[in-house]
Amino acid sequence: MSERTDVAGTHDGPHGYISNKDDYLKRLRRIEGQARGLQGMVDDEKYCIDILTQVSAMTSALQSVALGLLNDHLSHCVVDAAAAGGAEADLKIKEASDAIARLVRS
């Protein structure tokens, strides 16, 4: 099966994160547990600063996942597209640039 990228930026074929998929899933499940813990803290009316500390930890964990995914995307999808050249390369570079801009704003 050949890889392709359409105008919307979807990508058929193996994704750059696939070799780390299990690690990402473990980290995301841990983050999911953190979110449930935060809900419990609010429900139990815990001290605001304690809740904010946990929000900060969860935010850092999500940022770590995002940076890992971005690195995998750059080293796989963008590098492959750049090697192929043309419109696909331009699209992948724009996608990566837009993703970086979203991460910086968040």
Structural domain boundaries in the chain: 18-105
Dist CA 87 CA 94 (whole Å):
11
Please report, for the chain, how many H helices and E strands are present, in that order.
4, 0
What's the pLDDT tens digit per position in 19-39?
A: 889 999 999 999 999 999 999
Q: What is the pLDDT of residue 45?
A: 98
Q: Which CATH superfamily is domain 18-105 in?
A: Metal-sensitive repressor, helix protomer (1.20.58.1000)
Q: Which residues of the chain have pLDDT under 70?
A: 1-14
Q: What is the pLDDT of residue 72?
A: 92
Q: Tell me the two tokens of residue 34.
A: 């953190």
Q: What is the pLDDT of residue 10?
A: 57
